[in-house]
Amino acid sequence: MISSSIHIMHADPIVTVGLHAVLAGQPGLRVTSHLHQPEAQRVARVLVTDYDAGVALARQAAATAGPGMPPVAVLVVTQYDKEWEVRLAMEAGVAGYLLQSCGTDELVHAAGQLARGQRYLSESMTRSVADSLTREALTGRETDVLQLLAQGCCNKSIARKLGIGVGTVKTHVKGVMSKLDATARTHAVVVATQRGLIRPGAGSAAAAS
């Protein structure tokens, strides 16, 4: 049996050790880690990473893949479970997405799927993404307005920060509340935070300008 190379380069050393302990004993998998063999990344078929590194590596792999050569498959193992975070990772080219709370059997199955050139998304994340696709997405400007609402800004303040009219702000707020099925501005912020559409305490780029 030809072994598939899997390289673990998770930002958390303890998680890396745990992942290696589970995967190294599996038949058909040749497992290395960045802790001891960083050079093995160059020949790995699958990279097992944390969220931030996974998104960056997936984008890089897609951009540098040669003709007829599939990019290295990236498996993200993370605590991030918001639909926005999952969709961003998948759109970046991440091939597999697991929560750190997953069982060892699911980890082995996911790694095997990616090693065979397939994709894997945990069941709970599949439901999350599927649900999100049934909802109307917020526009970029609506997201800016929503982020400023989360910071406690009034309509006049939002208009000043974004360089738009108060009437336009009201229109965007109405659109946000309709798309999120919210009954009040504070309700919209709560729903958006729960879905991962905004990050608590984080300002938008537009707000910072």
What pLDDT score does 1 carry? 41
What pLDDT score does 12 carry? 95
Residues 40 and 94 in one domain: yes
Return the H-helix or E-strand segment holding 8: strand 4-8
Note down the domain range covering 160: 140-208
Number of domain units in the chain: 2
Domain boundary among 111, 133, 155: 133
- pTM (predicted TM-score): 0.68
Residues 110 and 196 in one domain: no
CATH of the domain at 193: 1.10.10.10
Residues 24 and 75 in one domain: yes
Here the contacts of 56-61 (C-beta below 8 Å, separation 24 or greater) are 58/89, 58/92, 58/93, 58/94, 58/95, 59/92, 59/93, 61/93
Q: Taking the chain (209 residues) in consecutive chunks of 10 residues, what is each chunk's mean pLDDT?
A: 81 95 91 92 93 93 67 91 82 92 93 92 75 72 92 94 94 93 91 75 40
What pLDDT score does 126 carry? 76
Residues 100 and 167 in one domain: no
